[in-house]
Amino acid sequence: MVRYVISRTFSSVPLLFVVITVSFFLVRLAPGSPLARERAMPPEIRARLERHYGLDRPWSTQYWNYLRGLLRFDLGPSYKQKEASVNALIARAWPVSATLGALAFALALLAGVMLGCLAAVRRATLIDRSLMFLALMGVSLPNFVLGPILILVVSLNLLWLPPAGWGGTRHIVLPVLTLAAPYVAYIARLTRAGMLEALQEGYILTARAKGMRERRVLIGHALRAGILPVVSFSGPAVAFLVTGTVVVEKIFAIPGLGNLFVQAAFNRDYTLILGIVLVVSTALFLFNLLVDIIMAILDPRIRYGKS
């Protein structure tokens, strides 16, 4: 197991390297420049700016300098937001996105697994059918439709919660609900399918035959196996959540990483783009690794198969 984790970690370093290299040259290949402004700039000022940021050097030198910076965890200066380093901009934005994402993920897991179990236990009843209909509804309701509708009803008509911004607890509720809703639905579907599969296994019959209480059969035995599809989905789910935060941050005007990235892409702020891509890729990789470890702990077959 330890060896597996170490080898996965080392194999990911080249991957991050490739991501960074490709993005580095991609942003430079694109037409337009980070120094372009609304008004034309006198050539001598432009030349000075280029020299200041090292943009007058050949790409290979720029690339080399950037990599050297990375070794010191220095992501460079932002080309668009003066006096701000990329490190500082990301440090300010990521806790916002992380809070949003973590709360939404927790809500999706909790509600999704509970509803999925309920549907599986009450299989083929009215409860099951209506829950699964709602779940399909939830999967088909994009968060950029749900978010504005929530604002319309809860903020503009009922005046219960603020429609936008970031500050207190009151600002968190609507964005988290918007972000979590499709995943509650999807995880409920996965849990139901996994539980139904698990409930047919021989060991469930054995447990019941031993006279084990139904609650323990369900939670201790069926859920442990039934939740596996959910765990393996949570890797991609976090990737989707990261994407979702981009939209949710835009809808609710939240100063997070997603908003920062879209701005940076439009502004051609090379270093900021690269910094965010690097941070997000690393975070996704770490999370996927965590998911694999949890899978191995939950499912002995994976654990023993690997060693």
Partner 1 sequence: MENPDRRPTDRTLALSTVSRPGVLRNRAVIIPALIVLLIAGASLLGPAFLPFTYWETHLELGASPPSLTNGHYLGTDLLGRDLLARMLYGGRISLLVGFLSTAVSLLIGVPYGAIAGYLGGRIDEIMMRIVDVLYSLPYMFIVILLVALFAQPGTVDALVDVFDLAPHNPIVSWLRGPGLRLVFLFMALGAVSWLTLARIVRGQVLVLKNAGFIDAARALGQTPARIIVRHVIPNTLGVIIVYTTLTIPSVILQEAFLSFLGLGIRPPQASWGTLVSEGMQALAVAPWLLIFPGGMLVLTLLSLNFLGDGLRDALDVRI
Q: With binding defined as CB under 8 A, does residue 5 bind partner 1?
A: no
Residue 33 Cβ, how far from partner 1 at the closest point, in Å? Answer: 11
Residue 219 in contact with residue 120, Cβ under 8 Å?
no
Place of tokens 């970031």: 166
Strand-pairing partners, residue 169, are none
> Which residue number, 158 or 211, has a Cβ lying nearer to partner 1?
158
Q: Please, which residue, 70 or 139, has the CB nearer to partner 1? A: 139
Nearer to partner 1, 156 or 297 (CB): 156
Choice from 152, 205, 253, 297 touching partner 1 (CB under 8 A): 152
| DSSP secondary structure, 178-229, as one string | HHHHHHHHHHHHHHHHHHHHHHTSHHHHHHHHTT--HHHIIIIIIHHHHTHH
Judged by CB under 8 A, the chain residues 264 through 293 that form the site for partner 1 are: 265-266, 268, 273, 276-277, 280-281, 284-285, 288
Q: Calculate the CA 94 to chain-centre distance.
A: 12
DSSP state at residue 266: H
Residues numbered 199 to 258 that lie near partner 1 (CB under 8 A) are 200, 229, 236, 239, 242-243, 246-247, 250-251
- Residue 182 CB, nearest distance to partner 1 (Å)? 9
In the bound state with partner 1, the residue whose beta carbon lies nearer, of 68 and 302, is: 302
Give the integer Cα–Cα distance in Å for 248 and 131.
25
Q: How far from 102 is each of 95, 189, 192, CA to CA, in Å?
A: 10, 21, 23
CA distances from 180 to 26, 83, 245, 248 (A): 33, 36, 10, 11
Q: Determine the size of the site formed for partner 1 (CB under 8 A).
A: 52
Of positions 70, 196, 295, 298, contacts partner 1 by CB under 8 A: 196
DSSP code of 153? I
DSSP state, 74? -
Backbone angles phi, psi at 214, to 5 degrees: -55, -40
CA distance 179 to 173: 10
- Check residue 95 for interaction with partner 1 (CB under 8 A): no
> For partner 1, which is the closer residue by CB, 51 or 152?
152
Using CB under 8 A as the binding rule, whether residue 54 contacts partner 1 is answered as: no
Of 112 and 194, the one with the shorter C-beta distance to partner 1 is: 194
Q: Which of 21, 61, 140, 206 binds partner 1 (CB under 8 A)?
A: 140
Which amino acid is it at 278?
Answer: L
Residue nearer to partner 1 on the CB measure, 207 or 291: 291
